[in-house]
Amino acid sequence: MSRVVIVGGGGTGDAAAFGLRKRGFDGEIVILSADQDRPYDRPYLSKEFLRGEVDVPKVFLHDEAEYAKERIELRLDQRVTGGSLPEHRLTMSGADAVGFDVLVLGLGGSPRRLPDMPSAENVRTLRSLRDSQDLRAALRRSNRLLLIGAGFIGAEVAASARQLGKEVLIVEALPVPLQRALGDEVGKVYAQIHRSHGVDLRTETSVRDWHTSGGQVVGATLSDGKREELDLVLVAIGIEPNLELPRALGLPIERGGVRVDQALRAAQDVYVGGDIALHHHPVLGRSIRVEHWEVAKGQGRGIAASIAGGETAYTKLPYFWSDQYDVSLEYRGNASGDDAAVWRGDREALKFSVFYLRDGMVEAVLSMNDAKTNEEGGKLIESRRRVSPAALEDTGVQISELLGTAAP
In the predicted model, is pLDDT for residue 173 greater than 90? yes
Is the domain of 245 the same as that of 269? yes
C-alpha dihedral sign at 289, 291, 295, 296: positive
CA distances from 41 to 52, 127, 230, 313 (A): 15, 11, 30, 26
Q: Is residue 317 part of a domain?
A: no
Is the domain of 186 the same as that of 291? no
pLDDT of amino acid 100? 98
Quick one: what percent of the chain has pLDDT higher than 70? 99
Q: pLDDT grade, residue 407 (50/70/90)? A: very low
Assess contact for 149 and 128: CB atoms under 8 A.
no
pLDDT of amino acid 1? 58
Q: Is residue 316 part of a domain?
A: no
pLDDT of amino acid 83? 97
pLDDT of amino acid 181? 87
Is the domain of 124 the same as that of 166? yes
Q: Give the residue numbers spanning the domain of 127.
A: 113-235
In the predicted model, is pLDDT for residue 299 greater than 60? yes
Is the domain of 198 the same as that of 145? yes
Domain of 370, CATH number, reads: 3.30.390.30
Which of these, 274, 317, 315, lies nearest to 292 by C-alpha position?
Answer: 274
pLDDT digits (tens, 9 = 90+) for 335-376: 988 899 999 999 999 999 999 999 999 999 999 999 999 999
Average of per-residue pLDDT across 230-253:
97
